[in-house]
Structure 1
Amino acid sequence: MKFYNRGKELKNLEEIENSSKISSKMTVIVGRRRIGKTKLIQEAYKEKIYLFVSKKNEVLLCEEFISIIQYALDVKIFGQITKFKDLFEYLMNLATTKPFTLVIDEFQEFLQINDSIYSDMQNIWDKYKDNSKMNLVLSGSIYSLMKKIFEDKKEPLFGRANNKIHLKPFTVKTIKEILQENYPEFTNDDLLSFYILTGGVAKYVEILVDNSAFTLDKQLNLIFDEYSLFLEEGKNLLIEEFGKEYTTYFSILSLIASSKTARVEIESILGKNVGGYLDRLENEYTIIKKVKPIFAKEGSRTLRYEIIDNFFNFWFRFIYKYKSAIEIENYEYVKDIVNRDYTTYSGRFLEKYFIEKIKLSNQYSDIGTYWERRNENEIDIVGVNDDSKTMLIAEVKRRAQKIDINKLQEKATKLVSKHKNYEVQYLGYSLEDM
């Protein structure tokens, strides 16, 4: 699959590279695994030293890195270097006379190899950065660890990065463009399933495109297969994040994916206090977020939890939940469940799709959903522009025929009464509007 839609990031990286020719610059690139960080780096820098931090002994890692550096820079490194700090100092010193880009991928893995590397790098960076010309790019996939390394005031590399790029999934606009280019005859049902299953994560998009899996049936056949990457994906990506308590985290995420979105519901099912787990899932791991009714007060307890990543939501809802059937390779059983529940399940993501699409229009200062106590008068989308005093109130249904604007106006009575000076537009969105 060709490289898509990272123009803003590429321009940013090019500007940083140019400024590093005056004095060294440190850039941190973060984002979940499979999001396309390495491809972005490859696209941005045709000439670079690329070092991947694998889980091996520091001596062996240095031996591997020396070979790469000698080839990339056409230099000879004499003597035996067995500590990364010595290799990094060699490179920083070399950069005083020779500008170059150094990429260190999976940078957080140094924690497992030798955690003193970060303080050593800090000292060396501070010593050389003003008089050297290195474009240092540090990339990592375990967001919680990368955040700790660079944003925790107690950590040696706190405040050292000049730039940070948090790589996000493709927008709904880009997802649609990819589908148009690779499968021009797509239907909006195809677009919705493509969005639900990939969430715009570059690797998943690439796998579906490369396998011509553009319809729900083909996508499910690809996912539920003994050789599928997807079956172990959630486990492989998140166990390292969560550590030994992963079973509790997985149970919470499975419940949220199955629409048990209130803390009291989760605690009643699991029989334990989950406040700390929810807090870490939200603030440390950034896997879930709180969703409150738009205009809710800061301390409002009227809230739900939502898994941010579309694929993780699908994985916990249909793969983790039915792992017993998957273990015995009864894939037809699970596919039947997906197909049975798909209309209801996809409806939630159709709402999410339109919220993301409306955000891209930049018409509103705030966009969200709305509901009142006991989940009454729920409204799918509310957008407000406080400057122009305009408000959008919208209902989302798969089929346009099911949209009832009169009923929508009734549900919005209390909401509109609090915004008497606003011009209100009532709209319905369906698959036809994607």
Structure 2
Amino acid sequence: MILFTQLDFIKNNFNKIKLNKKEGKKVFIGRKKELKSLEDLYAESGFSMSVIYGRRRIGKSTLIAKFIQNKNAIFYTATKVGKNRNTELFAKQVISVLEPNLENVTFPEIEDVLDFISNRLGEEKLVLVIDEFPYWAEKDEALLSILQKYIDSKWMGKNLMLILCGSALSFMENEVLSEKSPLFGRRNSQIKLEAFNYKDSALFVPDYSYEEKAICYGVTGGVAKYLSLINPEKSLDENIKKLFFHPDGYLYDETRNLLTQEFSDITLVNNIIEQIAAGVNTVNAITQKVRESGSTVLYSLEKLISVGLVEKKKCITEEKNKKKTQYVLKDNMFKFWYEFIPKACSVIELGHGDIYYEKIVKGQLHSFMGSVFEEMCRYFTLEQGVDGKFDSFITETGTWWGTENFLAENGKRIQQSADIDVVAISDIDKSLLIGECKFKNEKMNKNVYETLVRRGAILSGKYRLKKYLFFSLNGYTDWFEELNDKDVIKFTLEDLYM
């Protein structure tokens, strides 16, 4: 059984649990694959170790809390208080679970605590969780080696499952998982927890329309904590206004809170994110805008990537071409925040955020959702392609951008920049699918079809072009509906949720 300290933890940290009023019980949403992985590992006899990591607010602690329900478990969350204090607090947590009558006992060293645990391992498996592990390990250089020693000499073969969890992605990858780590080769599994996809995000708002579910995913980025704040009994507009456009809204100051936790000086990273959000996405262009050296900007970009806020985007057919690398915001909530909140801070502080949302933001939601919808369509295409729905086994999806030259109807030669929203490649038969996405009120028309076909010809030299995919929020014109082309597949937003 989990003792009282763990029950308190679960009560306070289940940010992916909603109350099912019809059944009167709490329901855990999503993460089936990750839970199964942990349960399978737990079922194995002897010692096992799992590493769980992912950016802040993503739901790591909630996942673990769900997993350790009704299990013999010790859960300790490290803090930025240094080596000795973490050892002291960890010892108290261990005692409270294993020997609550020994509350006045102290341990001078971490080895003493681990010996205490080792001596109490028996037939019932114990789960030992250290959350926010980097906070402790960064201040105690010997901790990783000490854990290695205990795994090799005292825990191997014993009924102990060790879970190390952290939000500092670079530390977890470089110091815990890499070949140079003392723990290398000891883990049985690793889970990099990502944001919920658009389908799982929809489970938080089951009664919303498909359009509302998509926008809900867009403004929260699929981040577990943010989704848990959506009240499904209130309208989407009410939720967005309450979370973003009220001075006390949780997401009104969330970006600043996150950056403050990760960076000592947030001025530069804030400026960089502002530029990326505005569409400035190369190192040289960002450098010119923020007026800092390229090395300084690149260092900040790498840090932003390491904490899961920014990602490198490459042209799918030219991934080795460094000139075709863009830096984009990985977190759609950040994208929404930087697009609408900075220019509205004064209005929001005056208490008029609701008016600002109704007059300015609401009418721009479809425009904001353009890139989010494209990402949703790429996910859907990969999912369907892996299942063989397009007569090809799709191995990757992405975007393409470059330059196109074509002859206009008036006979004039035109050269312009071009992009394709969805490019799905099968490395098995060297074929591809291409697609166009429109999250707009108007119906998709003939012009969209002709543009995609024209741009597809640019890629057809390297791959065999098999299908044209179209994704439309509001359907298609009569011309499109009557189009008789076996290589064209049309989807609506509803199709993406089926």
**TM-score strictly above 0.5:** yes
Deviation of residue 165 (structure 1)?
Answer: 0.9
Q: Within the alignment, does 1:424 sit opposite 2:429 as a pair?
A: no
1:25: which partner in 2? 48
Q: What is the Cα deviation at residue 29 of structure 1?
A: 0.8
The equivalent residue for 2:231 is 209
- Alignment of 1:368 with 2:398, yes or no, is yes
Instruction: Tell whether 2:54 aligns with 1:10.
Output: no
Map Cα deviations across residues 34-74 of structure 1 (whole Å, 9 max, x no partner).
Answer: 22212211221222111122344655555544443344335
Please say if residues 247 and 349 of structure 2, whose CA atoms lie closer than 8 Å, have aligned partners that are also in contact: no
TM-score, normalised on structure 1?
Answer: 0.87
Counterpart amino acid of residue 288 in structure 2? S
Specify which of 288, 295, 298 is matched with residue 320 of structure 2: 298
Deviations 1:70-120 (A, max 9, x none): 443356558531333321232133326653111111111114654433333
Which letter does structure 1 place at the counterpart of 2:38?
L
d(CA) in 2 for partners of 1:277, 1:55: 22
User: How far apart in 2 are the matches of 1:33 and 1:357?
Assistant: 26
Paired with 1:266 and 1:337, the residues of 2 have a C-alpha distance of 27
Using the alignment, how far apart are the partners of 1:58 and 1:426 within structure 2?
56
Once residues 165 and 56 of structure 1 are traced to their aligned partners in structure 2, the CA distance between those partners, rounded to angstroms, is 26
Change (3 A) 1:392 1:69: same
In 2, distance between residues paired with 1:383 and 1:141?
A: 31
User: What are the residue-to-residue correspondences of 1:54-203 with 2, within 5 Å?
Assistant: 54-56=79-81, 61-74=86-99, 77=102, 79-95=105-121, 99-111=125-137, 114-180=140-206, 183=207, 186-203=208-225
Retained in 2: the 8 A contact 1:366–1:385? Answer: yes
Number of aligned residues:
424
2:377 aligned with 1:354: yes
Q: Which moved more, 1:39-48 or 1:370-379?
A: 370-379
1:159, distance to aligned residue in structure 2 (A): 4.0
SS across alignment from 1:301: helix
CA distance in structure 1 between the aligned counterparts of 2:117 and 2:271, rounded to whole angstroms: 46
Matches of 1:154 and 1:177, distance apart in 2: 41
Which stretch of the first structure deviates more once superposed, 259-268 or 117-126? 117-126
How far, CA to CA, are the matches of 1:37 and 1:52 in structure 2?
Answer: 12
Cα 1:390–1:117 shift into 2, 3 Å: closer
Task: Please give the alpha-carbon distance, in whole angstroms, between the structure 2 residues aligned to 1:177 and 1:18.
Answer: 29
Note the C-alpha offset of 1:28.
0.9
What is the deviation of 1:309? Answer: 1.6
What is the CA–CA distance in structure 2 between the aligned matches of 1:261 and 1:360, rounded to whole Å? 28
Contact 1:409 1:426 in 2 (8 A): no
Query: Deviation string for 1:131-166 (max 9, x for gaps)?
Result: 422111111122223223313555433443232111
| Contact 2:422–2:436 (8 Å) recurs in 1 | yes
Q: Contact 1:190/1:216 (CA < 8 Å) preserved in 2? A: no
Q: CA deviation at 1:214?
A: 4.2
Q: Contact 1:289–1:307 (CA<8 Å) still a contact in 2?
A: yes
Equivalents in 2 of 1:194, 1:429: separation in Å? 18
Q: Would you say the 8 A contact 2:433–2:469 is kept in 1? A: yes
CA contact (8 A) 2:398 2:424 kept: yes
Report the Cα offset of residue 366 of structure 1: 2.4
Question: Normalising by the residue count of structure 2, what TM-score does the alignment of the two structures yield?
Answer: 0.76
Q: Tell me the SS of whatever aligns to 2:247.
A: coil
Gaps of 5+ in 2: 1-17, 19-26, 389-393, 404-414, 476-491, 494-498
| Structure 1: distance between partners of 2:169 and 2:257 | 15
Greater CA deviation, 118-127 or 317-326? 317-326
**Match 2:279 to one of 259, 281, 289:** 259
Bigger shift: residues 327-336 or 99-108: 327-336
Higher relative contact order (CA 8 A, sep 6+): 1
Deviates more, 1:105-114 or 1:75-84: 75-84
Deviation at 1:289, TM superposition (A): 2.0
| Unaligned ranges ≥5, structure 1 | none
Contact map agreement 2:49 2:188 (CA 8 A) in 1: yes
Residue aligned with 1:401, SS: coil
**Does structure 2 conserve the Cα–Cα contact (< 8 Å) formed by 1:103 and 1:138?**
yes
The whole-number CA distance in structure 1 between the counterparts of 2:61 and 2:302 is 30
Q: 1:237 to 1:92 in 2, by over 3 A?
A: farther
Give the Cα separation in 2 of the matches to 1:70 and 1:300: 54
Q: How many angstroms apart in 2 are the aligned matches of 1:89 and 1:319?
A: 52
Q: 2:472, 2:430 → 1: CA distance?
A: 22
Percent identical among aligned pairs is: 26
CA-based RMSD of the aligned residues comes to 2.9
Matching residue's letter, 2:53:
V
Q: In the alignment, what sits opposite 2:406?
A: none
Query: What CA distance in whole angstroms lies between the structure 2 residues aligned with 1:148 and 1:242?
Result: 19
Partner of 1:230: 251
| 69-78 vs 224-233, which moves further | 69-78
1:418 & 1:154 partners in 2: Cα distance? 40
- 1:270 deviation in Å? 1.1
Letter in 2 for 1:413: A
Whether the aligned pair in 1 keeps the contact of 2:219 and 2:336 (CA below 8 Å) is yes
Match of 2:334 in 1: 312
Q: CA deviation at 1:175?
A: 2.2
Q: What amino acid maps onto 2:64 in structure 1?
A: I
Secondary structure at the residue paired with 1:169? coil
Say if 1:291 and 1:304, in contact at 8 Å, map to a contact too.
yes
User: Which letter does structure 2 place at the counterpart of 1:228?
Assistant: G
What displacement does 1:194 show?
0.4
Question: Using a 3 Å threshold, how does the CA distance of structure 1 residues 7 and 375 change in structure 2: closer, same or farther?
Answer: farther
- The 2-side partners of 1:154 and 1:389 are apart by 37
The Cα of 1:239 is off from its aligned counterpart by 2.6
- Structure 1 Cα separation of the partners of residues 340 and 173 of structure 2: 30
- Listed one character per residue, the Cα deviations across residues 161-191 of structure 1 (whole Å, up to 9, x for unaligned) are 23211112222222234432xx2xx333312
AA aligned opposite 1:233:
E
* Letter matched to residue 443 of structure 2: Q
